[in-house]
Chains A and B, each alone.
Chain A
Amino acid sequence: MKTSGSSSTRDSSSRQDRSAVAVKSVSKVFGAGAQAFRALDDVSVDIRQNEFFTLLGPSGCGKTTLLRLIAGFEQPTSGEVLLDGRDFSGKPPYQRPVNTVFQNYALFPHMTVAQNISFGLEMLGRPKDRIKAVTEEMLRLVQLEAMADRRITQISGGQQQRVALARALAPQPKVLLLDEPLSALDLQLRKEMQLELKRLQTDTGITFVFVTHDQDEALTMSDRIAVMNRGEILQVGTPREIYNKPQHRFVAGFVGEINLLPAETTGVNEFSIAGGGCLRSSEAAHVPVGGQAVLAVRPECIALSEPSDGSLTGVITNVVYHGTDTIFHFKLADGQELRARSQNNAARVQTFATGDQIGWSVDPASVSVLADDPS
């Protein structure tokens, strides 16, 4: 399934709407013959100007390869990558108006913080006073003025992260590529940097293309997310769309926790689930009546109650307390396990115990219908 998040319905000739990065039917094959590995398989995506765009997927899904193709470190086997509407095929990285924040930062160890930041501007041959001014501005932007003359080895991981960011932003690229830049930081610092990155993107107005395998990170920062798996882009959408309306079983499972229920289509938006009972979805089924479908329901969308006539039923198998909320694991008549997440609220405490018979229900708006795709 190839999904393009393009803005093709709008007038694509206007400057505002011209995509910052346009990836057109790009494939990338590493190696040859029997060892050939298809890292990207006919991928197309449009990344808009001033957008915080995230490539999300498990390791080996091709997200870093796609980033390296945009940067120019790799050349596509087929297809093309347009930057700001211009074809840069075959051009080396140093001729492309993009900069990269590397996963391990790749800061120059033989230079100071300030020298690292001014490197790109020097290579572009900017005048000396301009280089000095921009470098100072960048140091201020990432709050490292005091560290300007320190060596890279003399600053902390979080500070190195900021230097890498400042170094990539200093030449004012059209697009900033970020390759899992936060993965080396501890949780506290990572949360801070997520907000900081979002702030920097808004302040500078530069298009950010961010690669991560962390769904929280993707949901927190992105304007739009492309979920990738096995060299394909499965779905492109806003964080809300990706989370609430996954179109693909893999997307549903990768982003957040989800319950997947095999079901048979019994009406336009009615399904009979294997464990017994009937669920409705506000989404019209794209599966013909009598066909198999998979219903996806987020744990927080399942409401538990005392069993009553006509309601769906189950038996509690486990109760896990998480502080802010409690997860109830329960089993349907056919043995399938589901999870329901209930927020812990002093005014409304749910006290079910293991073995209790419960009733459960889901708002039709919270039920997604996925094609029954084995992946």
Chain B
Amino acid sequence: MTRAGKHTLFRILLIGPALLAITVFMIVPLLLMAYISFRGRDYSGGVLWDQFSAEAYVRLFFERELDGSLALNLNYMFIILRSVWLSFVTMVISLAVGLPVAMFMATRDAKWKAVLVFMVTLPFWTNLLVRNYAWILLLRDHGTINSTLIWLGIISEPLPLLHNSFAVAVGLTYSFLPFMVLPIYASLEKIDLRLVEASFDLYANRWQTMRRVILPLAYPGIVAGCVLVFVPALGSYITPELLGGGKTLMIGNLIGFQFGAARNWPFGAALGLFLLALVLTSLWLYARRYRGELEGGR
């Protein structure tokens, strides 16, 4: 075998396992899902494999009446819209909270930095389910927050904190905040402090230095953080299930419902693909904007 041939073989061997994993665990299931979404529905669960049907996609927007005619039904779109909105709110709150936290962390001593990073990742050591239950204890009518407020005499009736969009937004922000803090911290930590000194030297005060030097340099981290919060929030399942109390559904719960109780696999698959398309579109829009920013210089 020639040297070049050996080299190619070596490369294939190295890349092989990763390629295999991606094919088996990502590409095949995705194709399978796309295939199922175009199959007929078996009312006892599962799919009619020999029957082609676009019914699942029709169902995204329309309801079929008893006589077979179609009526516009935006209930599903509303749930999707709420999912996008809640994820967006989660992202914005995480950014508002996470940026100062990351900034505080990045400006500590090396010794403190390690401790703080550890503390940010601490929630990962506990199960997400348990952490969401903890929020139920805090938010419910006779939970910690309402009891405390009533005891203090600030309110007389418990505030409706649980089983609504507010509870879901709180839960999502809490769950995904570390994904915002860590990438921003990483990009802030890399900033050469001498650039900040140079900015001060060139008559920029603290606020101007923040806006013109620190934030632009931390921009890649901020973008990464936003994507890492928005995307998983959009597909979240446990948090809206527990804190939304089955009333504030998000797209993830809807998909779960179709594969479970509703026994409509094709529709579940179609919703899944719709979610995927939504995520890819928003990422693409973001990437396009970000690239424009790089070329624009500011």
Contact = CB atoms under 8 A, between A and B. Distances in A.
Interface stretch (A111-119, A293-301, A351-359): A111-119
B297 A93 contact: no
Given A106-B192, A110-B297, A94 B198 contact: no
Contact of B195 (A106, A120, A167, A171): A106
A108 B216 CA distance: 10
B297 A102 contact: no
B107 interface: no
Interface stretch (B118-126, B154-162, B201-209, B269-277): B201-209
A109 B195 CA distance: 9
Nearest to A112: B297
A119 B202 CA distance: 7
B200 interface: yes
B30 interface: no
B203 A171 contact: yes
Given A106-B198, A120-B202, 14 more contacts: A92-B200, A93-B201, A94-B204, A94-B205, A95-B203, A102-B198, A107-B198, A108-B199, A108-B213, A110-B297, A112-B297, A115-B298, A123-B202, A168-B202
Contacts of A95: 203
B297 A94 contact: no
Interface residues of B, number: 20
Given A94-B205, A123-B204, A171-B203, A100 B297 contact: no
A102 B194 contact: yes
Nearest to A118: B202
Nearest to B294: A110
A104 B194 contact: yes
B217 interface: yes
Interface in A13-45: none
A103 to B, nearest CB: 8
A102 B217 CA distance: 19
A99 B201 contact: yes
A74 B272 CA distance: 58
A109 B198 CA distance: 12
Interface in B264-298: 297-298
A98 B199 CA distance: 13
B200 A93 contact: yes
Interface residues of A, number: 28
B298 to A, nearest CB: 8
B197 interface: yes
A123 B198 contact: no
20 contacts: A93-B201, A94-B200, A94-B201, A94-B203, A100-B198, A102-B194, A104-B192, A106-B198, A107-B198, A108-B198, A109-B195, A109-B217, A110-B219, A111-B297, A119-B202, A119-B212, A120-B203, A123-B203, A151-B297, A171-B203
B202 A99 contact: yes
A124 interface: yes
Interface string B70-90: 000000000000000000000
Nearest to A177: B201
Contact of B201 (A100, A107, A110, A115): A100
A258 interface: no
A102 B203 contact: no
A161 to B, nearest CB: 14
A28 to B, nearest CB: 17
A182 interface: no
